[in-house]
Amino acid sequence: MAVKVIEQKPLTILERTYLPQIVGGLKITARNMLKPSVTLQYPDERPVIPAGYRGVPVLVKDPHGREKCVSCQLCEFVCPPKAIRITPGEIAADSPNAHVEKAPKEFEINMLRCIYCGLCQEVCPEEAIWLQNNYSLAGFSREQLVHNKARLYELGGTLPDSHYKWDKKKADAEAAEHEGHH
Amino acid sequence: MNRTAITEFLAQNELLLRAVGAIAIMSVVLGMANLCVWLERKVSAWIQGRVGPNRTNTPLIAWIPVVGPLLGKLGLVQAAADGGKLLFKEDPVPGHVNKPYYYLAPVCALAPALVVLVMLPFGMLPGGTPLTLCHVDTGFLFMFAVSSLGVYGITLAGWAANSKYPFLGAVRGAAQLISYELALGLSIIPVVLATAAPGVESPLNLTAIVLNQSEVASGMVPAMWHIISHPLSALIFLVAIFAETNRHPFDMPESETDLVGGFHTEYGSFKFGLFFVAEYGHMVIGSALFTLFFLGGWSLSPVADAKLMELLSLNTLFGGYALTVLGLGVFLAKLASLIFFFMWVRWTLPRFRYDQVMDIGWRKLLPLAIANLIFYVVFYGVKAGH
């Protein structure tokens, strides 16, 4: 191995007194003292969450208030720590969303198991499960930290998108049926 | 009781008066030690880009409108909380310690610091009476002698702990104190020589040294602070004071990176608190001594004093006392800036190695102090000869 020997210069008398170095150090710390602090006063001030942040996974509704999840259970299958448990259910025939056919009867995410990997969000064909900005999660018992469906929708709220995929599907089907008559 | 009766009563009970004065000074200095802890935390925070304590508050204080929350925001309540924590903690005595010495050590550490305080002059009453509890002619010699006894606390603590790290800390503390005491004493002699003019009662007296730095009092025309006329003395004294008070970069007895906690490893709760207060007490004393020796004590500046005296003496009612109060303020301001400097250095410099400490003490500072002394002896000799 090639070694480059750098010759060390002998210290000057001034340097050997160590005083200029001390003064230099004091200058640096004095400058630091005058700078504003970098502390974020946490509970009062909150950090800016960058886009794409993976926070607590939640379920969302579309702007019409329809729950987007169709209980396909892909997220349940993909979840590495098996934190998700879905009980699929039917949608009542008289419901305005009857054409969607399925919705979860119960949807549980065990936040004590969740590893915030985001695979559920990635795999969801309905864009129904999202890892949102919430990064601070606490509870008084283990049960409290198993989020049920109601809690997941409460945390998730509404996703302001305007795909209305199922409504379009229904309209297309109706149009096709209409055309078929003629 | 009318006024003369009070005066008579006080004259008859001088001891009582002194006791009250002693308690007053002690509480002021212990309060300052507490403020030092606060300042230390704040200065370290500022240097490291943090904000420091700013949340602690207690119901009673927080209820005071405006002031209460402000005290909390400034973190001043934190200092009280720190003290309270030390008071209320469990006070365990390890089984392996040498009990009598273990109990004695914290007292030995704090007592000298408090004793020295009574001899500290911190102002001047109209008429030339120094504001001090105990006016002794041996002056700072006695103060140095007593404050060095503080190392017995450290040595005893290390010895009593019966374990190796505290013992090493204690040995280091003792060695360091002896090494730097020499340079400290020698660095001060030129200042004493400068003070020893005909007519001065005792040049060892701190009040005399302070008065020597002011034109009005000394009558010398180019009167100046000793830091300007004796810069090398000031530097040696400052470095030695850092070592004497066991402050960074000389905190050999503690050096927590290699000695766990040094001499106070086995101590907790209020016994540790006493060591803590003693350290800050020594720092206050060291800063006060430096102010008195080199920064003109309670004088605003060697030249401005005369004008100030003229200006203030026009007001006959408060005349003298206004000057006293002003001097007290000036003294405290100088003291506070020096304490700030102590902290500034602490959060700037890393700790010296033990061998470096010994090297600086014996091979650098001591010869330098001797050379400095010889120079000034010759200088004042020649000056007197003319």
pLDDT tens-digit readout, A10-56? 888 888 878 888 899 999 999 988 888 888 888 888 888 898 899 99
Would you say how long chain A is, in residues?
182
- CB-CB under 8 Å, B45 with A37: yes
pLDDT per residue as tens digits for the range B156-175: 888 888 888 888 888 888 88
Task: Work out the pLDDT band at A141, boundaries 50, 70, 90.
Answer: very high
Sequence length of chain B is 386
Position B128 confidence tier, pLDDT thresholds 50, 70, 90: low
B180: closest CA of chain A, how far (Å)? 17
Contact B326, B300 (CB under 8 A): yes
Per the DSSP assignment, residues forming a β-bridge with A89 are: A103
Q: Which of A115-124, B232-241, B320-329 has the lowest mean pLDDT?
A: B320-329
What is the DSSP secondary structure assignment for residue A11, as one 8-state letter? Answer: P
- The answer on pLDDT for B39 being more than 70 is yes
Measured distance CA(B223)–CA(A55) in Å, rounded: 70
Taking CA–CA distances from A41, the nearest residue in chain B reads B51
Using an 8 Å Cβ cutoff, are B276 and B111 in contact? Answer: no
Task: Tell me whether residues A39 and B49 touch, CB distance under 8 A.
Answer: yes
Instruction: Tell me the pLDDT band of A123, cut-offs 50, 70 and 90.
Output: very high
**Closest-CA distance of chain B to residue A24, Å:** 10
Name chain B contacts of A26, Cβ cutoff 8 Å: 344-345, 348
Q: What is the pLDDT of residue B318?
A: 60
Q: Which has more confidence, B356 or B33?
A: B356
Query: Residue B76: which residues within 8 A CB-CB, separation 6 or more?
Result: B38
What integer pLDDT is reported at residue B51 of this predicted model? 87
Structure tokens at B170: 């204690």
CA distance B299 to A168: 89
Q: What is the per-residue pLDDT for B127? A: 66
Q: B294 CA to chain A: closest CA distance, Å?
A: 19
Indicate the residue type of B88. F
> Of the candidates A22, A30, A39, which has its C-beta nearest B349's C-beta?
A22
Average pLDDT of span B209-213: 77
The whole-number pLDDT of residue B176 equals: 87
* Average pLDDT value for residue range B47-53: 87
B50 touches chain A (CB under 8 A): yes
Contacts A35 to B, Cβ<8 Å: 49
In chain B, pLDDT over 90 holds for what percent of residues? 5
Considering only CB atoms, which chain A residues are within 8 Å of B50? Answer: 37-39
Percent of chain A past pLDDT 90, that is, above it, reads: 26
Residue B144: pLDDT band (50, 70, 90) is confident
CA distance to partner chain A, nearest, from residue B346 (Å): 10
Between B132 and B192, the higher pLDDT residue: B192
* A144 vs B134, more confident: A144
pLDDT bin (cut points 50, 70, 90) of residue A181 is low
Q: What Cα–Cα distance (Å) separates residue B213 from each residue in B120, B217, B289? A: 17, 8, 14
User: A residues 18-37 near B, CB within 8 Å?
Assistant: 22, 25-26, 28-30, 32-33, 35, 37
Q: CA distances (Å), A69 to each of A58, A152, A172, in order?
A: 11, 11, 21
pLDDT, residue A182, reads 56
CB < 8 Å to A28, chain B: 348
Read off the pLDDT band of B2 (50, 70, 90).
low
Query: Could you tell me how far CA B263 lies from the centroid of its own chain?
Result: 21
Helix B164-195 vs helix B366-385: angle between axes, to the nearest 10 degrees?
A: 10
Of B43, B49, B347, the CB nearest to A37: B49
For residue B234 the two structure tokens come to: 């000031």
Contacts of A32 in chain B (CB under 8 A): 46-49
Mean of per-residue pLDDT scores for chain B: 81
- With an 8 Å Cβ cutoff, is B345 touching chain A? yes
3-state secondary structure A37-106: CCCCCCCCCCCCCCCCCCCCEEECECCCCCECCCCCCHHHHHCCCCCEEEEEEECCCCCCCHHHCEEEEE
Confidence of residue B1 (pLDDT cuts 50, 70, 90): very low
| A41·B349 Cβ contact <8 A | no
Q: How far is B48 from chain A (nearest CA, A)?
A: 7
Q: How far, in Å, are A61, A102, A125, A154, B195 from residue A150 at the CA level?
A: 12, 17, 21, 6, 86
pLDDT on residue B319: 58
* A39 chain-B contacts, CB cut-off 8 A: 49-51
Nearest-CA distance from B137 to chain A in Å?
A: 36
Decide if B47 and A33 are in contact by the 8 Å CB cutoff: yes
> Mean pLDDT throughout B74-86?
82
- Per CB-CB distance under 8 Å, the chain B contacts of A30 are 344
Domain at A57-172: CATH code: 3.30.70.3270
Question: Cβ B50–A28 below 8 Å, yes or no?
Answer: no
Is a pLDDT exceeding 60 seen at residue A151?
yes
Q: Where are the domains of chain B?
A: 96-385
- Joined together, the tokens standing for residue A165 give 């995929």
The sheet carrying A84-90 orders its strands as A84-90, A102-110, A146-147
Please answer yes or no on whether A38 and B49 come within 8 Å at the CB atom.
yes
Pick the residue of B40, B46, B363 with the most A CBs within 10 A to test the interface with A by mutation. B46
Q: Which of B64-78, B105-119, B233-247 has the lowest mean pLDDT?
A: B64-78
Q: A119 pLDDT exceeds 80?
A: yes
Predicted confidence at residue A83, as pLDDT, reads 92
Show residues of chain A in contact with B45, CB under 8 Å. 37
Sign of the Cα torsion A96, A100, A102, A104 reads negative
On chain B, the residues whose CB falls within 8 A of the CB of A41 are 51
Best CA proximity match to B157, nearest among B144, B171, B143, B177: B171
Between the two ends of chain B, the Cα-to-Cα distance in Å is: 60
